[in-house]
């Protein structure tokens, strides 16, 4: 031990082997420092003092408060019902009632528009018709209709006859002869009436140019009357037969007024 201590080479002359190695200057500059990162993060997080002369580009948002599930659902329902640009409100009872009333009125208007002459009856045509003798003596062409009150086809065609009569009123005579009236037995035989309604078309001299029987389109009657009003030698529909009621079902009755054409 004394020998080792007397050795002139001391322990302080040996450098420790566990000393930390020094990094080169360039490599040390490329490695970011933790202290600098901390300072940089604090610098970014701090808000810069706003300049009063510059306009603000954003507004401070109010703090968000927690909302329960019930409050969220009620808020969504109220916003959807009051937002004019959103989903429309569901119809209530008043809206349904208004829709029903409008639909009913529209259906009624459509029904009435298809039946402009719903008030025309055979009785109306009879009242407006000329007596048979007068029609043959006034120098105008004449349409003679043989009908009966019980004839369903005659009632159905009454509106069509009325419209044509109003169109050619003053130019063509319209006569109504009831087949149940015994006064017209001779005319029934003369015009060969076997079914009703039977329309006979006479020129201004009283000569028959043709006839049509039964339910037919309105244009048949209109075109024949138009030919009569223009004095043509013939009518376009001279011998046409549709669905009719048989004249054999007549309910013959005695004439009360000899001048009656009903």
Return the active site residues. Answer: 151, 154
Alpha helices by DSSP H, 200-248: 218-229
Q: Which positions ≥6 away from 235 have C-beta within 8 Å?
A: 201, 209, 210, 223, 224, 227, 228
DSSP code of 247?
A: G
Residue pair 112/194 in contact by the 8 Å Cβ criterion: no
Distance CA 148, CA 179 (A): 6
Residue pair 113/106 in contact by the 8 Å Cβ criterion: no
Extended beta strands in 120-232, E state: 142-147, 173-178, 195-196, 198-202, 208-213
For 2, 177, 238, 247, the CA distances from 194, given in Å and listed in that order, are: 169, 14, 16, 5
Backbone angles phi, psi at 255, to 5 degrees: -75, 130
């Amino acid at each position: 031990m004394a020998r080792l201590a007397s050795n002139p080479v001391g322990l302080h002359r040996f450098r420790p082997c566990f000393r930390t190695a020094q990094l080169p200057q360039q490599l040390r500059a490329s490695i970011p420092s933790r202290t600098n990162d901390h300072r940089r993060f604090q610098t970014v997080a701090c808000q810069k003092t706003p300049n009063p002369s510059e306009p603000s580009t954003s507004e401070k948002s109010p703090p968000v408060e927690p909302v329960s599930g019930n409050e969220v659902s009620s808020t969504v329902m109220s916003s959807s019902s009051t937002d004019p640009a959103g989903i429309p409100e569901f119809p209530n009872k008043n809206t349904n009632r208004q829709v029903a009333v409008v639909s009913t009125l529209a259906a009624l208007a459509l029904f009435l528009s298809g039946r402009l002459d719903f008030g025309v009856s055979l009785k109306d045509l009879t009242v407006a018709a000329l007596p048979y003798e007068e029609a043959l003596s006034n120098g105008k062409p004449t349409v003679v209709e043989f009908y009966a009150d019980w004839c369903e086809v005659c009632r159905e065609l009454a509106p069509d006859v009325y419209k044509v009569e109003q169109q050619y009123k003053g130019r063509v005579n319209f006569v109504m002869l009831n087949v149940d009236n015994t006064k017209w037995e001779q005319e029934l035989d003369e015009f060969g009436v076997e079914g009703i309604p039977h329309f006979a078309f006479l020129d201004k001299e009283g000569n028959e140019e043709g006839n049509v029987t039964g339910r037919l389109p309105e244009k048949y009657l209109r075109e024949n009357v138009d030919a009569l009003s223009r004095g043509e030698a013939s009518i376009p529909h001279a011998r046409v037969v549709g669905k009719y009621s048989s004249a054999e079902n007549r309910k013959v009755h005695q004439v009360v007024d000899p001048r009656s054409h009903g």
